[in-house]
A and B are shown apart, each in its own frame.
Chain A
Amino acid sequence: MIPEIGHFSLIVALFIAVCLGVLPIIGAARNNAVLMAIARPLAYGQFLFLVIALGCLTYAFVANDFSVLYVAQHSNSQLPVIYRISAVWGGHEGSLLLWAFILGGWTLAVAIYSRHLPDEMVARVLGVMGFVAIGFLLFMLLTSNPFDRLLPAAADGRDLNPLLQDPGLVIHPPMLYMGYVGFSVAFAFALAALLGGKLDTTWARWSRPWTTVAWVFMTLGIALGSWWAYYELGWGGWWFWDPVENASLMPWLLGTALIHSLAVTEKRGAFKSWTVLLAIAAFSLSLLGTFLVRSGVLTSVHSFAADPKRGIFILSFLVVVIGVSLLLFAWRAPKVGLGGKFDILSRESLLLSNNVLLSVAAASVFIGTLYPLFMDALGFGKLSVGPPYFHAVFVPLMVPMILMMGLGPLARWKKIGGLELAKRVRWAFLSALLIALLLPFAMGMWTAMIALGLLLAFWIIATMLLNLRERLLGRNDFLQRVRNQSLSYYGMQLAHLGVAVFIIGVTLVKGYETERDVRMDIGDTVSAGGYVFRFDGVREIEGPNYIGGRGHVTVTRNGQAVTELYPEKRQYNVSGMPMTEAAIRTGLLRDLYVSLGEPIPGSNGAWAVRIYIKPFVDWVWAGCVLMALGGILAISDRRYRIHSKRSGAQLDTALEEKTA
């Protein structure tokens, strides 16, 4: 009975989405207040029914209802309750439901927090989001219904993929989906502006906080996924350039470009059509990511079961959404105008160049990811593009981008003298260069790549300090000046600091990691990076739904005990899949990482053991967290908490003065 209620709720949600996707947009075109006013109630209703649907599916999982096909495929009565809940989005159908649910949630949020927007804007934005929801709900009901029954019911389920039985994976998909789907808001605002024919600075100010929130979720989602890969796959890597990882990186890069471009559009009225195009492209790539994961066009660790019928549906939907929005763009954008003028060297031009570099980076990831498909379709056979390609194109693009990233916040709008800017930053550059050249010697090994990485990171930090000094020190009261700077300014600096921290992490872990792959008998010791690892054997363990072995490794340094590590090797009962659980001692300056390979046949308890020392690896994720915190700080800014329509104009002038 409960699954049928869920199924029914999905159908109701679809009908509501159809009304939401059609009526308010017609209302806005004809200036019909009634049709426009129903957008909000429809958004509330749609969300309500999606909550019911998701609740029903969760209930089916928690209650072990194996008469539901999807539950039987992705759960098992031995599975702990927390993983039964996360199994709701552990497969294709359920993750689509989560997608639709989150889209409903964003639609609801826009409906609630849009009191200050003109009615036709609200109607159009909610309408576009409703239109997107139609596609996903139809997709689910026609090809991938999570509530399909399995009659007679299975005695027990096939269990959740052991890779997904992990706390990191409980929250990684919802976070990432919040990001993917969140870009639909920026997309809807862009289309609404194109439909209304009015692309002004207020439009940019409305979409900015939404875009930033989505970007924050996406940043955290990607970081979580990468952290999970690090400790769960047992290989010590944190990014593999896998097609599905790339599918999340592309919208992130464009989203980052979009945030900066929106800032220019809001403050200077420039790059309007470029901003709109970025908003369309960021969401299009989110949709494309969904397509790539589910169609089986590319093989990847993350792929869901491939089904050509699903692929054709979602691709057709993709063509409709993206095609229509790009046509709309081609039709409306030429009338937008260029906006404020700026000089060849100005904050605008620096931001524009950064935008272009980020977009080119996204395009190069795109080409690398889809290259095998293009070659295949042209009849050149199947190829794979590996990490060497990505490293070769990514680094040269990021170097100029980071250099400009340091200059951007220092440059003035409209026009700035090149010589004057060079004079201002010369000490910042020299000190960054000095640190980059000397620090690697102190760390024990000098290579050009390490020096380059450090130069970029310390360039960001040095220009940031310079900028803070110029803004905060002076004749007036220091505290007063600190208070005078907007929260979004501090947010920007914090996010940029996050990039520096990220680069330090990547550079040092790549440059100085140590790995040992050894056969260890009980009592054997291995020394690496000043630490001594003693293997004390493996004993049998039994988990709720797996059996396995837990190793015991004692780590000492100069005879002093540092820590005990317990890496595991598990064999899950239902799927029979072997899994490695690495044991990691996390530290600010280094991680000690031990994972079990294979038992050595014919020996007395010896195992192949992998030992890694990963200096500064946690800085990679710490950098991502700082970027996300910066985003949160930026949207907490006072000027986004506008209560009524009237403050808009006054605020505009106030801002012009402040940021000029």
Chain B
Amino acid sequence: MMRFILPFVVFVVLAVFLFKGLNLNPREVPSPLIGKPAPGFVLPQLHEPQQNFSPADMKGKVWLLNVWASWCVSCREEHPVLMDLAQQNIVPIYGLDYKDNPVEAQRWLQRGGDPYVLSVTDTEGRIGIDYGVYGVPETYVIDEQGVIRYKQIGPVTPDNLREKILPMVAELQAK
């Protein structure tokens, strides 16, 4: 008898997780980091691993930090939108290559084009934890004081670029 009830028990456990998952909606939870200084880091650059990059280098500029990875499917959807944005030269985009193999990552950029001023590699995903990365891709708008002003979870689309990110960037740059 016991073994026949087992599927039911497994399913109940699963259902509990799924209900919890609903409240953890990856696109809906606001980042507690908004309005707080962007966590600092010093990470090697993807193309020149001997050189480091840190958000402190960006003081005085409004910039975007885009978390991406070569294994991430949604990044492919987002990629042409970023390429477009990079060509318009409105705001510099910096990439955080998250939990990725640098060789694959370079190949990825070679194939699709590189919208980033530069990318840094977070192979272990440590910095991702500091930033509360929910799922790749994510994009942060960071102001001149180094404060996170907006966080886009999931791919950047032409719509949310037009409606949220670009107005926010324009407002911050005007200050």
A residues whose Cβ falls under 8 Å from a Cβ of B = 233, 235, 240, 242, 273, 277, 280-281, 284, 291, 295-301, 306, 308, 311-312, 315, 318-319, 322-323, 326-327, 329-330, 333-334, 370, 372-374, 376-377, 381-382, 384, 386-388, 515, 517, 575-580, 597-598, 601, 608, 610
Contacts and interface: CB of A to CB of B under 8 A. Distances in A.
Contacts of B7: 277, 280-281, 326, 329-330
Nearest to A163: B77
A163 to B, nearest CB: 8
Contacts of A381: 129
Given A315-B15, A575-B158, A384 B22 contact: no
A326 B15 contact: no
Contacts of A240: 73
Contacts, number: 128
Interface in B5-23: 5, 7-8, 11-12, 15, 17-23
30 contacts: A235-B112, A277-B7, A295-B22, A296-B27, A296-B28, A299-B26, A299-B27, A299-B153, A301-B73, A306-B27, A312-B22, A315-B15, A318-B15, A318-B18, A329-B8, A333-B4, A334-B1, A334-B4, A372-B135, A373-B24, A376-B21, A376-B24, A377-B21, A382-B135, A386-B69, A517-B110, A517-B111, A577-B157, A578-B80, A578-B84
The 9 closest A-B pairs by CB, nearest first: A386-B71, A326-B8, A330-B5, A377-B20, A576-B158, A578-B80, A297-B21, A330-B4, A311-B22
B111 to A, nearest CB: 5
A323 B27 contact: no
B87 A601 contact: yes
Q: Which of A297, A299, A311, A377 has the most CB of B within 10 A?
A: A299
B120 interface: no
A301 B74 CA distance: 6
Contacts of B57: none
Contacts of B44: none
A248 to B, nearest CB: 15
B4 A384 contact: no
Residue from the set A235, A306, A373, A384 with the largest chain B CB neighbour count within 10 Å: A384
B18 A315 contact: yes
Interface in B96-127: 99, 110-113
Nearest to B100: A386
A376 B136 CA distance: 14
A374 B65 CA distance: 27
A322 B11 contact: yes
Interface in B61-109: 69, 71-74, 76-77, 80-81, 83-84, 87, 99
B168 interface: no
Nearest to B101: A388
Contacts of A312: 19, 22
Contacts of B83: 598
Contacts of B153: 299
B154 interface: yes
Given A235-B76, A329-B8, A374-B17, A299 B154 contact: yes
B18 A297 contact: yes
B8 A291 contact: no
A444 B83 CA distance: 37
Specify which of B7, B25, B28, B69 lies most central, judged by the most chain A CB atoms within 10 Å of its CB.
B7
Contact of B25 (A308, A326, A372): A308
